[in-house]
Amino acid sequence: MAEEKVLNIEELQQDDKNFNAGTEEGQRMMEKSFSELGAGRSILIDKNGKIIAGNKSQQAAIAAGIKKVRVIETTGDELVAVKRTDVDLDSVEGRKLALADNATQVVNLAWDEVQLESVRDELEGFNPSDFGVDLPDLDPEPKEKKEPQTKELRPFATNHILLSYPIDLHDRVMQAVEQLRELEGMEIETSAN
């Protein structure tokens, strides 16, 4: 049976070599997720209480007012599932949690190549490419000369019209829209509530 204890969330130490620099937008999304939906997926810490994965989650959780962390001790031979007893997956909240969990991971990922490279140099047998992370070449001399482009800026002359109409008129409006679409430079986006 796994050992369990509850700690102050701030007792967990951040990884000073965190490979994920994170993004401002990702951090905003995480804080929104914690504030609106509460905590979901667990984070991972080492035997000393140092965060292996979830450094940004700890920060976002603190920002969202979460004060405690429940620690489950394992040795990697079992999976730890967090059960939200207040959530049904097939509810708005459940689906939002599922979306937020995936979306924040994508948006908040920004590899810190300096940390990756420094740990790779320090630790024999650690190679980021084993997990598909390709370090950039920090050599300041470009291997092939890339040429920047110059773009002249001009005053723009574009008019915007937002059309809103009763759905009964849809066929007639779309006929007119299709005719307008043929005009060069015309941009048309449609959407419905």
Nearer to another protein, 62 or 87 (CB): 62
Give the shortest CB-102-to-another protein separation in angstroms.
11
Q: Write out the residues near another protein by the rule CB under 8 A.
A: 14, 16, 21-25, 103, 106-107, 110-114, 116, 129, 132-138, 140, 142, 146, 148-156, 158-160, 162, 164, 187, 189, 191
Q: Which CA distances in Å does 70 have to 15, 37, 102?
A: 19, 18, 22
Nearer to another protein, 97 or 108 (CB): 108
Q: Which CA distances in Å does 32 have to 40, 57, 91, 126?
A: 13, 12, 19, 35
Contact partners, residue 128, CB within 8 Å, separation at least 6:
19, 116, 120, 134, 135
Nearer to another protein, 80 or 114 (CB): 114
Q: What is the DSSP letter of 14?
A: P
> Do the Cβ atoms of 116 and 21 come closer than 8 Å?
no
Give the shortest CB-136-to-another protein separation in angstroms.
5
Nearer to another protein, 14 or 91 (CB): 14
